Amino acid sequence: QVQLVQSGSELKKPGASVKVSCKASGYTFTNYAMNWVRQAPGQGLEWMGWINTNTGNPTYAQGFTGRFVFSLDTSVNTAYLQITSLKAEDTAVYYCARVNIAAATTELDYWGQGTLVTVSS
Amino acid sequence: QSALSQPRSVSGSPGQSVTISCTGTSSDVGSYNYVSWYQQHPGKAPKLMIYDVSKRPSGVPDRFSGSKSGNTASLTISGLQAEDEADYYCCSYAGSYTFVFGTGTKVTVL
């Protein structure tokens, strides 16, 4: 069955970096792009962007350029989100979610369980 | 890209129907029939409930339905049940391989 399994919670100090992983199984990894979605405490969902798992080409939403980097390791069917120069306002749950690029669909049909990143001194 | 506008909360008694609106612009909701809806229970990951405005994934009860008119999409839950109490988010394709979520609506079953 399809699964997206994310890495565990992280506690980081301001200015540090964090790398969140999202390991996919149960489907052909390169048929689905991987999206990243942020949810700050008590807030709504925010689309951060996505990465094409065929080409490795990322697309970043406004507000998520510069310190946010999407990457892949297709040998282990894993997508990564790296955030550098962390700020307190980066404290949030980060989700990965797939979309079927092979079929050119737009719905996020499977989601990871979420990774809580806490930034605090 | 601004978030799509949803009411903060809606409520209904068991068995009643509730409708959640999702208002965007002619650049997102109004231009594409690619609106999806997600249900999120507290502490859980979102779950796809509706895609392409009105299609239901396998396993989603048929009391969930979607529609769109102009720049506004809607999600209707008929025959409201206790387990439907959750947050709901709309999401629209916005062109150039970008997406935008709605502000979210809390559904309360009275």
Over 80: is that where the pLDDT of A20 sits? yes
CA dihedral angle for residue B24, residue B72, residue A33, residue A87, rounded to 10 degrees: 40
Task: Say if CB A4 and CB A112 are below 8 A apart.
Answer: yes
Name the residue with higher pLDDT: B5 or A101.
B5
Structure tokens at A102: 């092979």
Structure tokens at B20: 């959640």
Q: Which of B93, B102, B103 sits opposite A106 (nearest CB)?
A: B93
Query: Any idea which residue has 């502000």 for tokens?
Result: B103
Measured between alpha carbons, how far is residue A113 from residues A103, B42, B97, B106 in Å? 24, 12, 24, 20
Please give the pLDDT value at position A83.
98
Over 80: is that where the pLDDT of A68 sits? yes
Tell which of A107, A108, A109, A115 to mutate to test the B interface (max B CBs under 10 Å).
A107
pLDDT in tens, B34-56: 999 999 999 999 999 999 999 99
Rounded CA-CA distance A83/A94 in Å is 11
Nearest residue of chain A to residue B93 (CA atoms):
A106
pLDDT in tens, A29-59: 999 999 999 999 999 999 999 999 999 999 9
Beta-bridge partners for B22: B73
Length of chain A: 121
Length of chain B: 110
Over 90: is that where the pLDDT of A4 sits? yes
Please give the pLDDT value at position A105.
86
Q: Which of B34, B46, B52 sits opposite A111 (nearest CB)?
A: B46
Region A89-96: mean pLDDT is 98
Is some CB atom of chain A closer than 8 A to the CB atom of B3? yes
Interface contact flag, A44 B3, Cβ < 8 Å = yes
Per-residue pLDDT of chain B (110 residues; tens, 9 = 90+): 799 999 999 999 999 999 999 999 999 999 999 999 999 999 999 999 999 999 999 999 999 999 999 999 999 999 999 999 999 999 999 988 899 999 999 999 99
Distance (Å) from the C-alpha of residue A75 to the closest C-alpha of chain B?
A: 25
